[in-house]
Structure 1
Amino acid sequence: MIGAISVDLSRGDLSPPWLYGYATARTSLLAGKTDSVDFFEVKILQRIPHNPKHFVQGLQLDGDILWEGTGLYGESKLIKQRFNRTVGTLEPLYEKVLSSDDFGEGITVLNDTLYQLTWKAGRVYRYDLSGKEPSPLEPLRNDREGWGLTTDGHSLIASDGSAFLAFRSAKDFSVEKTIEVRFQGKALDRLNELEWIDGKIWANVWKTPFIVVVDAETGDVTSVIDCGSLVEDARASNPDIDVLNGIAWDTSNRELYLTGKLWPWVYRVVLDRKTPPEGKFGFTSL
């Protein structure tokens, strides 16, 4: 169990149009005090068929392209798919198989370069996206385990399974600064796949149905999103699914997409405010 809850429900207007029931909101989802936590659950708007063999470790929307980084030794790949939002389809366009000793992890796109982590090999693969097909560049070196990856538009932001997020140089992957993620004053580890949304870092918490939203300056968790309904929905179609892992933010349309490892669907979702749990709250395992 992690800390006692202190929730402030008088935090003013909420802005994102994907926040269900708050279409007139105007300010940031996470506006307000950093010592309080908002709780949300997800509402499914659309199910997009997804290859259930993809052990998703990274998910990235780049225009009409959905990139996936997948894991497992001997099965890790970088996958490029055309995403048709209107009909909800993913068309495979390109696939790069990693070395058999690589366990693929998080991905992100910064400018015209895609970065892909590996778990323990210490390699950060890079691909030039300026051409028709991705062109491999010289890999960078990672001095930590690779888990999740995102960007604030300047630096790369990486998780390593601990409670720390490292802001790293896109040039050589050197550490620029680190923040410790804390929920109600206590360190929160197992941070996995990451996404940067409206100046905040969204992180899957490994082996749980929860996503946390993190203040990028302080490391404080400001919101918790319960995705348990997605886990149940995905499991109804495929009882062999693995954990929730995959956050993609459509910056142009301001839409949120979630998936998981071996999941048959990518979900387009909105958030609905949830009554905070009473007493203590723990990030319990699935």
Structure 2
Amino acid sequence: MKRKKKPNFYKPINQSPSMVSPSSSSIRFKRRTLVVLSLFLISLIVILYLTSNNNQKRKFIDDVVPLTDEFHSIEVVNEFPHDPKAFTQGLLYGGDDFLYESTGLYKQSSVRKVDIKTGKVEILQKMSDSHFGEGLTLLDDKIIQVIWLEPSGFIYDRHNLSKIGKFTHGMKDGWGLATDGKVLFGTDGSSSLYHLDPKTFKVLRNDVVRYKGHEVHNLNELEYVNGEVWANIWMSDCIARISQKDGVVLGWIILPELRKRLLKAGSRRIDVLNGIAWDSEKNRLFVTGKWWPKLYEIKLHPMKEQLQAEDVATRCMRKYEFH
């Protein structure tokens, strides 16, 4: 008699994937799905953030200050009233839609706080009849201003424009003034871009501004814009974008349309373009001129046709004597 073998209940059974219990399979599937969805959402958030950031940068570059092109024309975004009796020598954005402005001419010079939208002079500090006001800049809570034909300047309280000090500097005289928050940049109407100590006002460095090896003279009112020093060129419709590192001109902004626009509107008693103000918070750029009845908010656009060297020399680099 043969004995029957007892079933081996402990013998392992090789199960195929299809033999896994439905509950176990479902749990694993749900876990994998959650992991995949989580990774997808994280990736999507990162992509959207980078895209948004790049779009903001692109818009800033295209509409406000495109730094890659050499020549730029302008588009007028807004125009505002401006005192037609203001012989503008310095302009800067003070926040909350107002500007600080300095005006020139003997017996008419002043420092003022101006409402952008209305052009109303909110505060006015008249200068001595013997002083010819020039460019100004803002450092901390102080307005610093230079004077024409004198190696000196004045300091004002930014809140009420009361005069709180006087200083001497190392430039021949004062034309333009700007700052990056660390040093002062100054001009005296020559081809020199001075770097000044903001505490002692001594000259730290003096760069000769050049475009393709040629000196650029008559540097006037200044503004500091995104790592560059922008300068009005006296007796021209040009703004030079200057490297603060070595004084090399990186590019030009060409603005003859503004003067033509004023003349067409019947403004006959206008002088040269002078005055650049940069709102770094909202990326807004403002310009005006001496005795101009308008302040313009503008955007920059790369010029379709590149200027030749001789065109730049004719438009922007003529040398005028002023003393």
Alignment TM class, shorter chain as reference: 0.7 to 0.9
Distance in 2, matches of 1:248 and 1:81, equals 12
Q: Per-residue deviation at 1:177?
A: 1.2
Change in 2 beyond 3 A, CA 1:242/1:61: same
Q: Secondary structure at the match of 2:120?
A: strand
Paired residue type of 1:264: P
Matching of residue 108 in structure 1 with residue 137 in structure 2:
yes
Q: Secondary structure at the match of 1:89?
A: coil
Larger proportion of strand:
1
Q: What is aligned with 1:7?
A: none
Distance in 2, matches of 1:29 and 1:185, equals 23
Matching of residue 255 in structure 1 with residue 288 in structure 2:
no
Alignment of 1:211-222 (within 5 A): 211-222=239-250
Select which of 282, 298, 306 maps to 1:269: 298
TM-score when scaled to structure 1?
0.85
Contact conserved, 1:149 with 1:159, CA < 8 A, in 2?
yes
Matching of residue 139 in structure 1 with residue 176 in structure 2:
no
Distance in 1, matches of 2:307 and 2:255, equals 15
Contact conserved, 2:277 with 2:286, CA < 8 A, in 1?
yes
Q: Per-residue deviation at 1:176?
A: 1.1
Q: What is aligned with 2:104?
A: 71
Paired residue type of 1:187: E
Distance in 2, matches of 1:162 and 1:197, equals 21
Larger proportion of helix:
2
Select which of 134, 147, 152 maps to 1:123: 152
Change in 2 beyond 3 A, CA 1:172/1:204: same
* Identity rate, percent: 33
Q: What is aligned with 1:3?
A: none
* Cα deviation digits, residues 96-126 of structure 1 (max 9, x gap): 1111111100010011110111001332110
Paired residue type of 2:70: D
Q: What is aligned with 2:43?
A: none
Contact conserved, 1:14 with 1:29, CA < 8 A, in 2?
no
Q: What is aligned with 1:196?
A: 224
Q: Secondary structure at the match of 1:54?
A: coil
Q: Secondary structure at the match of 2:222?
A: strand
Alignment of 1:230-241 (within 5 A): 230-237=258-265, 238-241=267-270
Q: What count of residue pairs does the alignment treat as equivalent?
A: 258
Alignment of 1:1-286 (within 5 A): 15=57, 17=59, 22=62, 29-31=66-68, 38-64=70-96, 65-83=98-116, 88-129=117-158, 132-143=159-170, 144-237=172-265, 238-274=267-303, 275-278=305-308, 280-281=310-311, 282-284=313-315
* Cα deviation digits, residues 28-58 of structure 1 (max 9, x gap): 7335xxxxx7111111111101010000000
Distance in 2, matches of 1:122 and 1:219, equals 22
More displaced stretch, 222-231 vs 90-99: 90-99
RMSD over aligned Cα atoms: 2.2
Q: Per-residue deviation at 1:134?
A: 2.3
Distance in 1, matches of 2:307 and 2:193, equals 27
Change in 2 beyond 3 A, CA 1:167/1:214: same
Q: Per-residue deviation at 1:161?
A: 0.7
Change in 2 beyond 3 A, CA 1:14/1:231: farther
Contact conserved, 1:108 with 1:150, CA < 8 A, in 2?
yes
Contact conserved, 1:71 with 1:77, CA < 8 A, in 2?
yes
* Cα deviation digits, residues 206-240 of structure 1 (max 9, x gap): 00000010011021111111100011112233111
Change in 2 beyond 3 A, CA 1:208/1:232: same
Contact conserved, 1:103 with 1:118, CA < 8 A, in 2?
yes
Contact conserved, 1:18 with 1:255, CA < 8 A, in 2?
no
Paired residue type of 1:180: V
Distance in 1, matches of 2:274 and 2:177, equals 12
Q: Per-residue deviation at 1:283?
A: 4.1
Distance in 1, matches of 2:103 and 2:188, equals 16
* Cα deviation digits, residues 133-178 of structure 1 (max 9, x gap): 1231220013421100000111111001111111111112111112
